Chain A
Amino acid sequence: MASAPPIDEGLRSELQKQGIWVTSMQELYNWGRRNSIWPLQFGLACCAIEMIATAASRYDLARFGGEVFRPSPRQADLMIVAGTVTKKMAPQIVRLYNQMPDPKYVISMGACAISGGPFKQGYNVLKGIDRYIPVDVYIPGCPPRPEALLHAFMELQRKIDGQKLTGTGKAAFLDKTVPSEFPVPAFGAHDLEPPANADVFHPPKIERH
């Protein structure tokens, strides 16, 4: 399985015309995973309303296999951080993320979850959930429309589709050395301790001339 040579695309489509479907374990596995993403039922602020709208009949997240919102992290694959993350809430979010089984993904929905958004200057607002947990897809917007969440969902499906099971570039969740838990921040005297997890948070460097 690991050393099987990839099948020639031309031969594959030729065989498909003859009614023979050739696939690989990896494709089959990723196909199953990307079409049954179960999100954690977890809303924080106004973005959650858009998330509910996405799951309801008009936008119908079920078309992408993501309608099964789970009330427990044990059964969820995807955490949609939908809304403002206050510093009071941040430890709980990290803990919930830790309790999700691998493979797990995070969509950072809306300006608040990305950077604090309109409340960035607030003393009690976390300036982005990516300070503590790795984020797969960011959606800008305040709040993003359901279409934007669907788009993020499709982007995540694309990402899952591209994940390798074996070899050098295999997915991180299959690597024994990559942690699946991240330290939960504690309430300090003035801020969360630590203010960001250096292993996760890689802010872009601003170059000033």
Chain B
Amino acid sequence: MPDPYFFLVIFGAVAFVFPVMPLALAWLWRRFFQPPKPGAGKNATYECGVESLGEAQIQFHSHYYLYAIIFLIFDVEAIFLVPFAVAFTGLPFGAFIAILVFLLLLLEGLVWAWGKGCLSWVK
């Protein structure tokens, strides 16, 4: 009766050989049959066939969070506007005023953001 942990050793060996063997075979195949043909174009960065421009590591300015917030607010506004538009003809006057206040508040926010220069492009 072998040591019960012996099976783990077998398992480990198989788990090692199984992925390494095809890699080794591929390497041997390349070594004996297929000459490597590297080149400037072949090794170039793949960018859908277009020559790559500039650096890969670009950073986005943290100021963009304001864009994100403004976008989110107006996105939500659009969702509120759809039922408002559908029910527009049947609305009582009070509801109309309510939605108008809501719109004006958002509009004021936009004017504030605009005035603060949040919408200008940050370099």
Contacts and interface: CB of A to CB of B under 8 A. Distances in A.
Interface of A: 72-74, 91-93, 95-96, 98-99, 101-102, 165, 173-176, 179-181, 184
B48 interface: yes
Given A98-B39, A98-B41, A73 B34 contact: no
Interface residues of B, number: 14
B42 interface: yes
Nearest to B34: A174
A184 B33 contact: no
Interface string B82-118: 0000000000000000000000000000000000000
A181 B39 contact: yes
Contacts of A98: 39, 41-42
Contacts of B37: 102, 176, 179-181
B34 A99 contact: no
A205 B13 CA distance: 63
Nearest to B32: A1
Given A165-B33, A176-B35, A181 B41 contact: yes
